[in-house]
Structure 1
Amino acid sequence: MPLTDATTPPALLEDPQWWRSAVIYQVYVRSFADSDGDGTGDLRGVRSRLGYLKELGVDALWFNPWYPSPLADGGYDVADYRDIHPAFGTLDDAEQLISAAADLGIRTIIDVVPNHISSEHPWFKAALAAGPGSPERERFWFHPGKGPNGDEMPTRWQSSFQGDTWTRTVNPDGTPGEWYLHLFTPEQPDLNWNHPDVRAEHEDILRFWFDRGVAGVRIDSAALIVKDPAFGEVPDEPGPGEHPHVDRDEIHDIYRSWRRVADEYDGTRVLVGELWLPDAERFAAYLRPDEMHTAFNFDFMSRPWDPAELRASIDLMLAAHAPVGAPSTWVLSNHDVTRPVTRYGREESGFAFTAKRFGTPTDLDLGRRRARAAALLTAALPGSLYLYQGDELGLPEVELPREVLEDPMHFRSGGVDPGRDGCRVPLPWRGTTAPYGFSPDAASAGGDRDRDGTGAGAPAAPWLPQPPEWAELSVQAQEADPASMLWLYRQALRIRRREAALGDGPMRWLDTAPSVLAFRRGDGPDEVVCVVNLGAEPVDLPAHHHILLASSPLEGGRLPTDSTAWLRTRS
């Protein structure tokens, strides 16, 4: 049964509009904090750091998939939606974490992956065992191959991870069988959303986690789940709704049913879509009042550090959201994207999956300066703000040795693309040598490891290696440095929470030089002006009473290049 007012955590009931201005912090559990010394982050580790997250000033935590999984794609190959991966803890650990966070006023958002499941999921195992024509296979997209012997793939669709989208099965007698669809890796078979079992199962999954106090779900690859059963090839220029497996019109009925489930519960339970769509009108259709609450704004994140590009993106996204009354979201990175400090320090400072290469020249000092400016720019824009763990520390992308890489994007590119592991390296918390407090010291780890039956001894090395230069970027080091990225983020989020003009609401552009972005938030004595200098020379600030915050020290009273300032314009 849905939670009632008596059992819903109080934080979920305080503000039904919390999501419109929320600061949401993305937790990649495997790399956040390791409580037992096995080298892998876990839910007890996250719980031990809730005080840090409260101090940072976040309103909610978004967790990447924490379910049992073979980890063929970082947990996005889910084998069981109603449990926790053993490396991360237990279902009881998750419930305690959700409750403890709520006690601090921090909500929990979890990841749901509706497009596919793991090839180790009981449904898919049953489908393989049952054979062609069976009811078990109808939950997926099994299809005969083309050609005289059925040895050609049913379509030439391209995978989101590069490469083929079909894998052929083997019949019980050893002969080649049907093919099954996977838009991602072969370990991630796509579900058939025309099947009632698939729809009922996911609605039950939503209720399972809402009953445990979860405040919302982030919907992975949200525009991909419906396929055209005719399996036509992708047109050269598909019109609206014409793509065979992206943004099909039928998809909206599914999310309307999810919204009805969310609305059964006390306290606003939000639906957040991962939507990579170039058409702003099609994008906004998912945010109608009876569908999702918000969606990720990837357009801004993909733009280069250029005033015209950034302004165009801001205008585009605000205009797209306005007709449906939804707030935009602002995000600089996530677990799939090159970190801002690195990205903004490159000649090509926008983001595109196809552009990632080993050995790309990077000016980290330039990138760090721009990332600080971008942090204040995004925090001043209307709507909600997403932070990816470690961005508040100014962590750069790590170019890892090839032998430690796990990301399928690296392997499916033939080794050309370094993949996404470089932004998933475990966080540095304290000390001057690895693991920088990510894992407990030997004394405390030994006890935990004995209790867990994994053996005593020194902590295992983190699952991905941390570079030696991260000693200067640990939480401990930055807490002692008022010029650090962590101090900047803490101040920005504190001011953002305090100032009524920031968060959700209107904004107005100010007339400036082409190299400067400036806009006003709010009116009267609460008015705040944000100024971003993307030009080569310092610029004068508009008339103001005082400066609330600046990403860089002023130079002779002027805002230097690649810097942002928040101004109080009236006393």
Structure 2
Amino acid sequence: MTASPLSVLNADTLASDPNWWRQAAVYQIYPRSFHDANADGLGDIKGITAKVEYLKELGLDAVWLSPFYPSELADGGYDVADYRNVDPRLGTLADFDEMAAAIHDAGMKIIVDIVPNHSSDQHAWFQEALAAEKGSAARARYIFRDGQGANGELPPSDWGSIFGGPAWTQVPDGQWYLHLFASEQPDFNWDNREVRDDFLKTLRFWSDRGVDGFRIDVAHALSKDLSEPLPNKAELRRLEKLHNGSNPLWDRDQVHEIYAEWRALFNEYNPPRTAVAEAWVDQSRRARYASLDSLGQAFNFDLLMADFEAESFASIVTKNLAESAATGASSTWVFSNHDVVRHATRYGLPKLADAEKTQDGKTWLLNGGDESELDRELGLRRARAATLFMLGLPGSAYLYQGEELGLHEVAHIADADRQDPAFFRNTGIEVGRDGCRVPLPWTSTDTSFGFGDAPAHLPQPAWFAEHAASAQDTQEGSTLNLYRDALALRRQLQTGEELDWVANANADVLHFARPNGWNVVTNFGETAVALPSGTVAVSSVPLEDRKLPANATAWLV
């Protein structure tokens, strides 16, 4: 494979290296569930600042914040009412500046979420649009249409929203507005120059405040073709299979004109600001988002969606590294985030009977989260092995808060306590994403397990006590200390963005070598295997007479 620019990170080079992001270890914080500093049950900006030393000791290169902007929380903060401010429940801009300074002083970068496809229905622009007349400039910032039927009483099309229900909502004067997600999240009209300019203003606002990079939510939306007649739902499904940029709603070629403008802005800074696209697109289309002329990186969710199997992991890594080499981008790897069932739980559930599908945990949650079906010990063991495998790969590694504590999904949340719109709009279809967003346990015994001095906004289970950071801090072999050890070694061992697969006779074992002699061996099977020569630097479980046990990973140097 073709080598990409080498970026070996340390505290001295991170601040000025334009390639710092290529092989960075990035930690996602869901602010409302990280740490509560003011005892209101909601995580906040000062809570993050209070834990900067913890993040530094973990060995991270960057911290990514999910939305912290003013929001009515119709979708966990992804319904933004003001893109250039902080939700007053989470703090102030001064609090943000203090946090950013602390993160930078600790030798880490800061990445923030940008949500450009839609705003909150409480955004000043949308409120102005509701008060304005049909055809007004205010309505032109969003996507308003007259309805069908004799009196416009029917929506402009039969499209459904991602969260269930129709994708159109009617306003009092009879028009309808488009929302691909919740009705509280009206879609912007990205053909409107005013919308484009305002987001450039937002990107510059945060860049000038010291933000080093941006994660772009649903980056494959934005550009749309809503020329009449609108296709029906069946036609949309047909178009989704083409992967040629012609879909009227998703992954249109024209979206890259927007990102070319963003890239020009990013490159005005030294070092240039970075961006990573959340783009759920076919692999053949991903490279355009990851182009160095565009956002620069795109999330690769392939490992996240795979079962814990050697063949799947090998195929995914090979394909994605080849794709990155061809485009000049770096690969991204992730197992958990705020939208999916935690990987410790996914790996502890039985494989699905349908060989075409992988275990995502959603059906298990919907059926009540039966503990008898979940092997917690096996799931965590596999999660530790998978993470150590991932941290050895070329490219950037994205970690989600709590995975370093070995947290499982919280399966049992009362309906009255749930917050995710997916639960309320898809009753009987899915229970939503609250189970991976439950506030973190910092201590074993304090109120809210140390999350804060008030009950947490989502209830925490009793089993959090054994996973608390304080319980693992000095515990040899704990998941927290495994992450600390692995991340410290990863920084020391980092080398060129390439690997070579090392052949072995066991189909359940994957072995790859990085250019500097750093070897990673993962045993996906059920029996221990002999390790090759070399000094073991770290392993996900203790070795057995120089043998790598089942469901385990070791690094050798």
Instruction: State which of 250, 255, 261 in structure 2 corresponds to 1:251.
Output: 255
> Is the CA contact (8 Å cut-off) linking 1:31 and 1:424 kept in structure 2?
yes
User: Which of 484, 509, 516 is the matching residue for 2:509?
Assistant: 516
Following TM superposition, by how much is the alpha carbon of 1:268 offset from its aligned partner in structure 2, in angstroms? 2.7
What residue in structure 1 maps to residue 269 of structure 2? 265
Structure 1 residue 478 corresponds to structure 2 residue 472: yes
Residue 375 of structure 1: aligned partner: 387
Q: Aligned to 2:26, what secondary structure does the other structure show?
A: strand
| Matched-pair contact (CA < 8 Å) for 1:12–1:102 | no
Indicate yes or no: 2:538 matched with 1:549: yes
Matched, 1:118 2:120: yes
The CA deviation at 1:235 is 4.7
Deviates more, 1:281-290 or 1:366-375: 281-290
Query: What TM-score do you get using the length of structure 1 for normalisation?
Result: 0.90
How many Å separate the matches in 1 of 2:14 and 2:549? Answer: 42
* Alignment-derived partner of residue 451 in structure 2: 438
Normalised by the length of structure 2, the TM-score is: 0.92
Distance 1:13 1:57 in 2: 15
The alignment partner of 1:300 has SS state of coil
Distance in 2 between residues matched to 1:500 and 1:218, nearest whole Å? 24
Q: Are the aligned partners of 2:243 and 2:285 in contact in 1 as well (CA < 8 Å)?
A: no
Paired AA for residue 499 in structure 2: M
**For 2:366, what is the secondary structure of its paired residue?**
coil
Q: 1:277 aligned to 2:281?
A: yes
Structure 2 counterpart of 1:232: 231
Tell whether the 8 Å contact from 2:341 to 2:361 is kept in structure 1 after alignment: no
Cα deviation code 1:251-308 (max 9, x no counterpart): 0010010001111112231011101112x22110112221112111111100111111
CA distance in 1, matches of 2:30, 2:555: 31
Q: Does 1:345 align with 2:358?
A: no
User: Structure 1 counterpart of 2:384, which letter?
Assistant: R
For residue 506 of structure 1, the aligned residue among 498, 521, 530 is: 498
Confirm or deny: 8 A CA contact 1:434 1:466 kept in the other structure.
no
- Asked whether the 8 Å contact 2:155–2:176 carries over to 1, the reply is yes
Q: Distance in 2 between matches of 1:126 and 1:55?
A: 47
> Deviation string for 1:190-232 (max 9, x for gaps)?
0000000000000000000001000011100000111112233
2: distance between equivalents of 1:52 and 1:375?
A: 19
Aligned CA RMSD, in angstroms, stands at 1.6
Query: What pairs up with 1:122-133 in 2 under 5 angstroms?
Result: 122-133=124-135
Among 509, 523, 540, the residue aligned to 1:533:
523
Q: Structure 1 residues 352, 189: CA separation in 2 closer, same or farther (over 3 Å shift)?
A: farther
Kindly provide the CA deviation profile for residues 338-396 of structure 1, in whole angstroms up to 9, marking residues without a partner as x. Answer: 11111110114845586452424211111010011011011001100111000000011
| 1:12 and 1:215 in contact (8 A); partners too | no
Residue identity in the other structure for 1:540: A
Measure the CA separation in 1 of the matches of 2:472 and 2:193: 52
1:431–1:310 CA distance, 2 compared to 1 (3 A): same
Which residue of 423, 426, 429 corresponds with 2:436?
Answer: 423
CA pair 364-522 structure 1, distance change in 2 beyond 3 A: same
Q: Which amino acid aligns with 2:271?
A: G
Verify the 8 A CA contact 2:530 2:547 in the aligned structure 1.
Answer: yes
Q: Does the 8 Å CA contact 1:11/1:105 hold for their aligned counterparts?
A: no
Return the alpha-carbon distance in structure 1 between the equivalents of residues 555 and 27 of structure 2.
22
Aligned residue identity for 1:510: V
Seen in structure 2, the aligned counterparts of structure 1 residues 549 and 263 have a Cα distance that, compared at 3 Å, is same
- Once residues 548 and 13 of structure 1 are traced to their aligned partners in structure 2, the CA distance between those partners, rounded to angstroms, is 28
Q: What's the CA shift for 1:100?
A: 1.3
Higher deviation after alignment, 345-354 or 356-365 = 345-354
Deviation of 1:312 after TM superposition, in Å, equals 1.4
Give the Cα–Cα distance (whole angstroms) in 1 for the partners of residues 75 and 442 of structure 2. 26
Equivalent residue runs for 1:95-110 within 5 Å = 95-110=97-112
Residues in 2 aligned to 1:285 and 1:353: alpha-carbon distance in whole angstroms = 31
Deviation of residue 11 (structure 1)?
7.4
Q: Residues 288 and 50 from structure 1, CA distance in 2 versus in 1: closer, same or farther, beyond 3 angstroms?
A: same
Q: 1:188 aligns with which of 163, 179, 185?
A: 185
Give the Cα–Cα distance (whole angstroms) in 2 for the partners of residues 108 and 252 of structure 1: 24
Q: Tell me, what secondary structure is at the counterpart of 2:304? A: helix
**Deviation at 1:82?**
1.1
The reply on whether 1:327 has 2:330 as its aligned counterpart is yes
Shift of 1:99: 1.1
1:146 is matched with: 148
Residue 560 in 1 paired to residue 554 in 2? no
The 10-residue stretch of structure 1 (13-22 or 180-189) with the greater mean CA deviation from structure 2: 13-22
Instruction: Report the AA paired with residue 258 of structure 2.
Output: I
**Matched residue type, 1:428:** P
1:295–1:351 CA distance, 2 compared to 1 (3 A): farther
Distance 1:461 1:204 in 2: 38
User: CA offsets, 1:141-196, max 9 Å, x none?
Assistant: 1011122222222122232223321111112xxxxx01110000000000000000
Q: Output the CA distance in 2 between the equivalents of 1:331 and 1:319.
A: 18
The amino acid of 2:551's aligned partner reads: D
- Residue 331 of structure 1 deviates from its aligned partner by 0.7
Change (3 A) 1:225 1:354: farther
Is 1:405 aligned to 2:418, yes or no? yes
Matching residue of 1:493: 487
* CA-CA distance at 1:469 after TM superposition: 1.3
Say which of 357, 360, 372 aligns to 2:366: 357
Q: CA deviation at 1:488?
A: 0.4
Within the candidate set 173, 176, 179, 2:176 is matched to: 179
- Separation (CA, whole Å) in 2 of partners of 1:155 and 1:238: 21
Paired residue secondary structure (1:366): helix
Tell me, what secondary structure is at the counterpart of 2:138? helix
Aligned-residue sequence identity (percent) comes to 45
Cα distance in 2 for partners of 1:321, 1:153 equals 42
Q: What displacement does 1:434 show?
A: 4.0
The correspondence of residues 149-228 of structure 1 with structure 2, limited to 5 A, is: 149-171=151-173, 177-228=174-225
